[in-house]
Amino acid sequence: MPASQLSRQTGGQPKLKVEEQLLRVLEYWRKLCTLEVELGWQVPAIALTGYAGKEWQERSLELGFQQYLTKPILPDALIEIVIQLLRQSE
């Protein structure tokens, strides 16, 4: 889908994205980042994963995620991080 069509369908730039980080998702993530660049979006991102190793955390940050959380995730902690990221992006 062309970037301009997606922008019209979504009503503009999203406020936040949260991704389940699996290897098969990484290609999708790269495509989404490319689309954001095309549209001029700057969207904060949280990586949610079952992989708790330092290697995964570093890789997530290299890919452009602002936060890295491992499962299980406490709802209150997630909400606090979402609020923090949204405030920073305003």
Q: What are the pLDDT tens digits along the chain (90 aa)?
A: 455 555 666 667 777 777 665 655 677 677 777 777 888 888 888 888 888 889 888 888 888 889 999 889 999 999 999 999 999 987
The structure's pTM equals: 0.63
CATH, residue 67 = 3.40.50.2300
The candidate with the shortest Cα–Cα distance to 45, out of 23, 72, 14, is: 14
Buried residues in 33-66 as b, exposed as e (16+ CB within 10 A): eeebeebebebbbbbbbebeeeebbebbeeeebb
Name the domain count of the chain.
Answer: 1
pLDDT score at 80: 94
C-alpha span between 90 and 69 (Å, rounded): 22
pLDDT score at 84: 94
pLDDT score at 75: 92
Domain that holds residue 50: 3-89
